[in-house]
């Protein structure tokens, strides 16, 4: 353990002033963080998938909620589940950032015309696609719901956040598949840095536990076929055989330090650096050397203007697939070199499963929690580390580490990579 120097703080730093999450590990950031620290997987037998005949009936579901009761009459019927998840996480984040008053949605105390929204999603309204396609084939075109389009479109989460909050700044949806949540934070940071928006509500949302998605991921060999949910998601373990599908959302409030301080909001974290890259290699597989992911991480560290040796923790993409975890290890070796032994790595997907387009945002939040508390969560189910994965992976129990900066990396299908470097607020 080494003491790491505090970063200098500047008024034009882009900071996070609010965080919200709903994940299989819990409702809210505190519950999610607590669940991840416990190191106990949330993967469980999934009755709905089993009843639908899915080839894999194990998933990580978010805690149950009543969308109509929490989000207003008609929310269940009019909005897909991924938008529900985005709205619930958004409310927590805007509340923490002090952006709302009595109304849980309407923005308060900021110029709503200068508030942007950038939400990542890999699939969008997957449940809507599945249910309406079933109606089309069973009952014909005259029975398809007119709400199919606004429910299904992947931009509905960002659009609905604007409708609810009144945010009339740039409103974007980013899809870099499993990197979308991190890419959204990168784009949002750039909107603030360029002066295009004062505040951006950013993150990722996904609800892709559908029969067709499970079937296709299973056909690819990407899903774990381990029949025991308790040990199915096991990043970096020698017996890992694929990921477990999860769902959820993570949302952060992004603004400049000067803007936050002017309105009395506390900077929780600084988005010190963002990096993006493409593998330019294959539709689903990473290159063996993880070169694309390494580029994204190097760019994020360079963007942060810090030495890689200041980074003491990596929240890994760590999907628990054989290919990903090796490629990510090689990427880290190339980025950190001899400093790699000082980087404590974890994959929170052992607990949460893979949240696809929400993963990068949720994991940035969790990396931020680790930084703020000096505590790295254990990787669930890591009982025998793959000897080819020469990383210091936290396992068993949380590891106390003095941290000056942390990095989180995400790698999406299509070879789209994103990395975020966070320092203290």
Partner 1 sequence: MSEDLLATFTDLLTSDFGVPADEVSADATFEALGLDSLDIVELTLALEDRTGVKLGDEDLEQVRTVQDAIDKVKERQA
Question: What residues contact residue 218 under an 8 Å CB cut-off, 6+ apart?
Answer: 54, 55, 56, 225
Q: How far is CA 362 from the centre of its chain?
A: 4
Q: Which of 420, 400, 401, 402 is nearest to 410 (CA)?
A: 420
Q: How far is the CB of 255 from partner 1 (least distance, A)?
A: 34
Residue 330, φ and ψ in degrees, nearest 5: -65, -35
Q: Which lies closer to partner 1 via its Cβ, residue 45 or residue 77? A: 77
Number of H helices, E strands in the chain: 16, 16
Give whichever of 53 and 141 is closer to partner 1, judged by the CB atom.
141
At 248, give phi and psi (nearest 5°): 155, -170
| Shortest spacing between CB 103 and partner 1, in angstroms | 17
Q: Which residues pair with 223 in a beta bridge?
A: 243
202-172-150 Cα angle (round to 5):
105
Q: How far is the CB of 78 from partner 1 (least distance, A)?
A: 8
Q: Out of 84, 313, 354, 395, pick the active-site residue.
A: 354
Considering the complex, state which of residue 145 and residue 215 has its C-beta at the smaller distance from partner 1.
Answer: 145
Does the annotation count 354 as an active-site position? Answer: yes
Catalytic residue among 274, 317, 369, 395: 317
Inter-residue contact 318 to 326 (CB < 8 Å): no
CA dist 131 and 125 (Å) reads 10
Q: Which is nearer to partner 1, 7 or 147 (CB)?
A: 147
CB 240 within 8 A of CB 326: no
Residue 369 annotated in active site: no
Place of tokens 């793959």: 386
Closest C-alpha to 318, from 355, 273, 265, 275: 355
- Per CB under 8 A, residues contacting partner 1 are 68, 73-74, 77-78, 142-143, 145-147, 150
How far apart are the C-alpha atoms of 199 and 112, rounded to whole Å?
A: 9
| 317 a catalytic residue | yes
Q: Which is nearer to partner 1, 31 or 147 (CB)?
A: 147
Shortest approach of partner 1 to residue 131 CB, angstroms?
13
To partner 1, the closest distance from the beta carbon of 145 in angstroms equals 6
Check 178, 274, 313, 369 and give the catalytic one.
Answer: 178
| Residue (132 or 298) nearer to partner 1, CB | 132
Shortest approach of partner 1 to residue 71 CB, angstroms? 12
Cα–Cα distance, 306 to 7 (Å, whole number): 9
Residues 6+ apart with CB under 8 A from 137: none
Residue numbers annotated as active site: 178, 317, 354
């Amino acid at each position: 353990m080494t003491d790491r120097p505090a970063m200098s703080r500047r008024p034009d730093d882009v900071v996070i002033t609010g965080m919200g999450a709903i994940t299989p590990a819990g409702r809210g950031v505190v519950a999610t963080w607590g669940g991840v620290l416990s190191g106990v997987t949330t993967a469980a037998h999934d009755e709905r998938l089993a009843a639908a005949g899915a080839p894999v009936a194990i998933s990580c579901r978010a805690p149950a909620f009543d969308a109509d009761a929490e989000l207003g009459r008609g929310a269940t019927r009019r909005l897909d589940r991924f938008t529900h998840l985005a709205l619930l996480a958004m409310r927590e984040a805007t509340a923490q950032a002090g952006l709302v008053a009595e109304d849980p949605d309407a923005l308060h105390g900021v110029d709503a015309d200068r508030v942007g929204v950038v939400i990542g999603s890999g699939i969008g309204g997957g449940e809507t696609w599945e249910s309406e396609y079933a109606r089309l084939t069973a009952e014909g075109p005259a029975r398809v719901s007119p709400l199919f389009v606004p429910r299904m479109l992947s931009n509905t989460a960002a659009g609905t956040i604007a409708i609810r909050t009144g945010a009339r700044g740039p409103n974007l949806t980013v899809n870099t598949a499993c990197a979308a949540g991190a890419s959204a934070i990168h784009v949002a940071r750039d909107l603030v840095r360029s002066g295009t928006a004062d505040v951006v509500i950013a993150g990722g949302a996904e609800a892709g536990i559908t029969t067709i998605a499970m079937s296709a991921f299973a056909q690819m060999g990407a899903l774990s076929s381990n029949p025991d949910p308790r040990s199915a998601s096991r990043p970096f373990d020698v017996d890992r055989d694929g990921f477990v599908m999860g769902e959820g959302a993570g949302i952060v409030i992004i603004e400049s330090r000067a803007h936050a301080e002017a309105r009395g909001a506390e900077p929780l974290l600084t988005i010190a650096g963002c990096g993006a890259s493409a593998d330019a290699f294959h539709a689903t597989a990473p290159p063996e050397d993880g070169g694309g992911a390494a580029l994204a991480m190097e760019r994020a560290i360079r963007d942060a203007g810090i030495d890689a040796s200041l980074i003491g923790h990596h929240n890994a993409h760590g999907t628990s697939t054989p290919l990903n975890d090796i490629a990510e290890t090689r990427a880290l070796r190339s980025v950190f070199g001899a400093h790699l032994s000082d980087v404590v790595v974890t994959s929170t997907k052992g607990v949460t499963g893979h949240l696809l387009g929400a993963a990068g945002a949720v994991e940035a939040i969790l990396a931020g929690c680790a930084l703020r508390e000096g505590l790295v969560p254990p990787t669930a189910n890591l009982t025998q580390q793959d000897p080819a994965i020469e990383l210091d992976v936290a396992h068993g129990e949380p590891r106390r580490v003095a941290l000056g900066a942390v990095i989180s990396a995400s790698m999406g299908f299509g070879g789209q990579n994103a990395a975020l470097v966070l320092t203290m607020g």
